Chains A and B, each alone.
Chain A
Amino acid sequence: GEQVEQLPSILRVQEGSSASINCSYEDSASNYFPWYKQEPGENPKLIIDIRSNMERKQIQELIVLLDKKAKRFSLHITDTQPGDSAMYFCAASERQGGSAKLIFGEGTKLTVSS
């Protein structure tokens, strides 16, 4: 089955700088790659996603890049703020029966210091 590797596991940046998280996957059939943000004690919330027919997607300060050939995708947060501090999870989809299964990476703990 699909496996997703996520790095780094811990990321500390200064407010106003950029933060980058990288993920790789194994199954070339995966075609959907979401990113979730999880604050302490809260549920994961979808922040941005990209499908395999795109290479780049941006929502405000969030940029996702997808390299299908290399089976890698990444999240870039520009102009980070303390409110961006959280756990971030990448995921890749794997078909299962009539639904899809998201395989999550191990997570990145991002800390933005002011």
Chain B
Amino acid sequence: AQTIHQWPVAEIKAVGSPLSLGCTIKGKSSPNLYWYWQATGGTLQQLFYSITVGQVESVVQLNLSASRPKDDQFILSTEKLLLSHSGFYLCAWSPLGTSAETLYFGSGTRLTVL
């Protein structure tokens, strides 16, 4: 069975500080990987997606970047946090082929920027 692990579970950071969030998926080779962001009480917005190692596509510009250094790892980062970065960050994966649209979310990281 596939498992997706996100870290950390929660972060409280100062404006202007750097950030790195991670996601690892086990039990699935070459998955599509995604980063989503959710404001408190809000909808889910896709930030990045990756279909293979080293290849990441940006969907919205939020002064964030993403990288896929390994097949099973997806990293979200920024060098300078803004207040607007607060929210719930969700990593997700989807299988290849005809079920490529089905997303399975990790447990998320709750980020508070002060």
Residues in chain A within 8 A of chain B (CB atoms):
32, 34, 41-46, 49, 89, 91, 93, 96-102, 104-107
Contacts and interface: CB of A to CB of B under 8 A. Distances in A.
A44 B105 contact: yes
Contact of A43 (B42, B46, B102, B107): B107
B43 A89 contact: yes
A40 B94 CA distance: 23
28 contacts: A32-B102, A34-B101, A34-B103, A41-B110, A42-B108, A43-B108, A44-B90, A44-B105, A45-B105, A46-B102, A46-B104, A49-B102, A93-B101, A97-B49, A97-B51, A99-B51, A100-B94, A100-B100, A100-B101, A101-B46, A101-B59, A102-B44, A102-B46, A102-B101, A104-B43, A104-B45, A106-B43, A107-B42
B79 interface: no
Interface residues of B, number: 22
Contacts of A100: 94, 100-101
A91 B108 CA distance: 19
B100 A102 contact: no
Contacts of B59: 96, 101
A41 B9 CA distance: 11
A99 B49 contact: yes
